[in-house]
Structure 1
């Protein structure tokens, strides 16, 4: 009987021909060698089911019966691994989901940069070789008040090249409470050691005073450094030294002040209940000689490490050999320039930069959006789930504003069968996947991080997940359609 079942399995070519006839879009989108490999994997799953006694009816092995499951398997497993997801977590700058969403203008700029050749390092005034940084340097100086600017591939790189260019072989004085780890085991002391600079800690974990810095300065000191603790807060019995105070000390001793701002911002979000984060311009104005910050966090642009400051210092950093290894590519440059141009008008930036718009969204706007989402879900899910609105909180994320939550209205989906945990697993396998959060036995969707045009899509994939008969992860069983 087993051998008869094996013989009943259709040939690979027969399966490919059936897919070509019934799923032309799938076949066109999937390279032929990959599609053949997927058919083989699917048939291997059938063989395993025969050997294990889970498949005993030869009728279930006919091409007509196998085809829907095969097509679903090939579409799921043949899709690109890097794909779009729907973020309904309410975390605006979600590191696991690519951090900031680019403005439409930045997306268009990237497409233009990729469609043809560009003046990446071509000076159109002379026809000679130019600098790629010239496309954004003037913009950065205008927006921050700095004399010069440089962009590398992320803020960790910005700190590394700054330390290597200015501090190698010398001592850098930094407060003990600012020796932060920002995620992924990236630690400020490790970066300093890698650059060849020696760390000189001052103060205590919770308190540091101006005299602590002054006492630490000696003939080996090459810089004072201040690290903005953007991803955590020390509260209670705490004191710090301001940028202006530290700049005065540094300059009195002829030293540069380096400020690692981390998640830099050009906008003041205090009106949205997010106080306490300095803008890049305010730090430059307070006297910092070099300021480093991220392009893909609160700024809302592409991944980049931005360095602004005094012209002579930035020129020295530009000449550092690491600059070649850490430089940005044309796509990043195009996206960054387009994003920075939006910040030339603050109100335009708040509307057009998605990160800024999400952070600035008013509670009543979010409630209206949540109501639209809930209506869509009720129509799509019908009797399969209970849908209601509940008050909740969003987060900025990305190591920014760690103490401050943003009020929002959540949409709670409570399946009548199977539970919220199973719904969460099923939504990982939908196209596109939908990521939310679980609380109080409900699956919660935060409209803050869902664009208006994504609301119908979110409703569709929730309906599909609720209709899925398989209770596990649909991406796992190779013959889930049998």
Structure 2
């Protein structure tokens, strides 16, 4: 019987004529598609060869082509999920590191699409008709927004810190408080970054308390810079003390040493005005007199991955001559994205309205509730029982670790018990992945991170999941 089944295995060209398979092939590249077909046929061949039970072999023979096609569809879906693709974020974490952190507005997306699909003036001065600087316009824009003398953009904030320390503290001591030796994420730690830059780490103070005298006692001719790192991804509570930024700046001036601050989150908004806990801003650091400030582009700033350095022009000019800059410079996409982003920051009201990250952080909880009610009503009309629940959303992305934002979510109601982990898997493995949250042994979608324009499509995807999995 095995020989008969092996002879009956369909050829690739026969499989390709199947309508369902033909439609699926349009969603992936031809190489991946053909590989999935061959893999499925080979898997069936192996299944036949290892099966000894005659009844099982008979059943395999009855549904031979159908099983192969079903497996092909499953393999193609798995391959699609390996590539970067759009997902619905129902986790309630605004800056979700695993889901790409900041989201851009559709307007910016359209603008960048035009630039990507055409030539552009990246290093061409249209007014002068000759080669120009790829950074000039963006640097001027950033400086105007934050109030700095100059600015520079590199590929990420770790790169920005390394560049600054390599230029101003190579083979010298970089003095930093022990309480600021943070791990940034992905196992990147400040001590290793300082070492990689060519500087020597000199830690002062204690984990929870650092005094100005701790810095004073260690400043000498071997000192390169005084480095301050904002602990944006954790907080130490209780008996704590850190040196005021203005005091550190005064010490730097008195000792003729540079003060560099890694503010990390890249915040340009005073969130306390919107009922959110206050987070240090780049502008306040510059006002305090810090020589150079570095920050990320894809956290509270609401943009793409980038490291931004702002501060004194003479120092920025030195950084531009550092040979390491070539290795960490940014491309046309990053420049175009940041130009659009910082243009919005020229008017904070425009930034709050047009930058999704800021809009989600500052929006009224009633707006989230409205989205939850709308999705709930659509699902009820389609026979999917659910209820609107109160939740707590988070900012994420290593920013404001203790801050929770009032939110609303959708919890699903079943007549028979279903594991929240199983439900999470069904949603995650959907054609468009839906990433929800499990909390207190229940699965739900937090509407803080679901956009109004996506609700109808999300509802359709939820309905498809429930029908496919027999949940209604």
TM superposition score normalised by structure 2: 0.93
- Alignment partners' CA distance in 2, 1:381 and 1:216: 70
- Alignment partners' CA distance in 1, 2:85 and 2:69: 23
- SS of equivalent residue, structure 1 residue 56: helix
Aligned to 2:17: 17
Q: Does the CA contact (< 8 Å) of 1:110 and 1:332 recur in 2?
A: no
Aligned to 1:308: 310
- Alignment partners' CA distance in 2, 1:414 and 1:154: 44
Mark the CA change 1:125 to 1:13 in structure 2 (over 3 Å): closer, same or farther. same
Aligned to 1:476: none
Correspondence 1:464 to 2:464 = yes
Q: Does the CA contact (< 8 Å) of 2:409 and 2:446 recur in 1?
A: yes
Q: Does the CA contact (< 8 Å) of 2:36 and 2:72 recur in 1?
A: no
Correspondence 1:209 to 2:211 = yes
Aligned to 2:390: 391
> Deviation per CA, 1:247-289, whole angstroms, max 9, x where unpaired?
1110111111100000011111113433231111111111111
- Alignment partners' CA distance in 1, 2:255 and 2:248: 11
- SS of equivalent residue, structure 1 residue 404: strand
Q: Does the CA contact (< 8 Å) of 1:423 and 1:466 recur in 2?
A: no
Aligned to 1:88: 90
Mark the CA change 1:47 to 1:67 in structure 2 (over 3 Å): closer, same or farther. closer
Correspondence 1:115 to 2:113 = no
- The number of residue pairs the alignment matches comes to 464
- SS of equivalent residue, structure 1 residue 347: helix
Choose 119-128 or 69-78, whichever is displaced more. Answer: 69-78
Correspondence 1:277 to 2:276 = no
Q: Does the CA contact (< 8 Å) of 1:203 and 1:212 recur in 2?
A: yes
Aligned to 1:411: 410
Measured on the aligned residues, the alpha-carbon RMSD in Å equals 2.0
Aligned to 1:234: 236
- SS of equivalent residue, structure 1 residue 301: coil
Measured after TM superposition, the shift of residue 163 of structure 1 is 0.7
Choose 154-163 or 46-55, whichever is displaced more. Answer: 46-55
- SS of equivalent residue, structure 1 residue 403: strand
Q: What residue ranges of structure 2 are gaps of 5+ in the alignment?
A: none
- Alignment partners' CA distance in 2, 1:29 and 1:307: 42
- Alignment partners' CA distance in 2, 1:271 and 1:192: 36
Measured after TM superposition, the shift of residue 414 of structure 1 is 4.0
Aligned to 1:321: 323
Q: Does the CA contact (< 8 Å) of 2:40 and 2:68 recur in 1?
A: no
Correspondence 1:400 to 2:399 = yes
- Alignment partners' CA distance in 2, 1:212 and 1:56: 81
Correspondence 1:454 to 2:451 = no
Aligned to 2:103: 101
Aligned to 1:46: 44
Measured after TM superposition, the shift of residue 8 of structure 1 is 2.3
- SS of equivalent residue, structure 1 residue 165: helix
Measured after TM superposition, the shift of residue 378 of structure 1 is 2.5
Measured after TM superposition, the shift of residue 25 of structure 1 is 4.3
- Alignment partners' CA distance in 1, 2:171 and 2:440: 55
- SS of equivalent residue, structure 1 residue 465: helix
- Alignment partners' CA distance in 2, 1:356 and 1:464: 32
Q: What residue ranges of structure 1 are gaps of 5+ in the alignment?
A: 472-482
Q: Does the CA contact (< 8 Å) of 1:361 and 1:448 recur in 2?
A: no
- Alignment partners' CA distance in 2, 1:84 and 1:159: 32
Aligned to 2:179: 177
Correspondence 1:76 to 2:77 = yes
Task: Give every structure 1 segment of 4 or more consecutive aligned residues whose post-TM-superposition deviation is greater than 4 Å.
Answer: 22-25
Aligned partner of 1:60 among 60, 63, 67: 63
- SS of equivalent residue, structure 1 residue 401: strand
Measured after TM superposition, the shift of residue 24 of structure 1 is 4.7
- Alignment partners' CA distance in 2, 1:33 and 1:190: 42
> Deviation per CA, 1:30-80, whole angstroms, max 9, x where unpaired?
333332221111222333443435553333124xx4586256336414536
Mark the CA change 1:248 to 1:417 in structure 2 (over 3 Å): closer, same or farther. same
- SS of equivalent residue, structure 1 residue 261: strand
Aligned partner of 1:31 among 13, 29, 32: 29
Correspondence 1:440 to 2:409 = no
